[in-house]
Amino acid sequence: MNEKTFWALMDGLSCHPGDRHERLEWLRGELRRRPAVEGVEFQARLEVACAAVTTGALWRAVGRIEGGLCSDDSFDYFALWLVAQGRETYRAVLADPDALADVAEVRALVGRHPREWCDDEWPEWEELDYVAQEVFDELTGQEDGCGEAFHEALEAVQDACAKVEEETVTVEATVTAGTPRLDVLFPVETTS
């Protein structure tokens, strides 16, 4: 699976109607139509895209949105959510974390404490990380439950990719002044 195909799937996922469960079922269906190895390649690309999200500026932005409640796991799930927003949003936010202020799902959280958010409202999407393995197990008849065959296949794909020059696109941050729009939308709560 090349980068173009991966992002076409993410763009499709981002605009597919329905709740998160329905959108993940759509993605499962798309991956089921492909050879099992493409699901593994999908996961490898997903992990590369998520790794690029791990910056101090984005960590601070997510912490601002989530009211300081962002753990290591929460940030990983945020990265998955961001990739699922599609290529255009992903690239915009990597270039300028304050662009999160333009994302409708983020704006819907403004003025509400995180304790008031429904599970599907959090800018996190842990379940996306399991789709490729679920489909791989289904397509290959794996019954081990721990994904050993999937992880071995993923490791082989990652090793092969490391030996071949990737068609990665570097996104450079254009803003270094912080997140002024997010700061206004999600002010720090003070306790008296």
The overall average pLDDT reported for the chain is: 88
DSSP-derived 3-state class of residue 189: coil
* pLDDT per residue as tens digits for the range 129-183: 999 999 999 999 887 666 788 989 899 888 776 655 444 444 544 445 688 999 9
DSSP-derived 3-state class of residue 184: helix
pTM over 0.85, yes/no? yes
d(CA 66, CA 158): 32
Residue with the bigger pLDDT between 113 and 189: it is: 113
DSSP string, 6-60: HHHHHHHHHH--S-HHHHHHHHHHHHHTS-HHHHHHHHHHHHHHHHHH--HHHHH
d(CA 74, CA 79): 9
* pLDDT per residue as tens digits for the range 70-100: 788 889 999 999 999 999 999 999 999 999 9
Q: Which residues contact 128 (CB under 8 A, 6 or more apart)?
A: 24, 27, 46, 80, 81, 83, 84
| Residue 68 CB neighbour total at 10 angstroms | 10
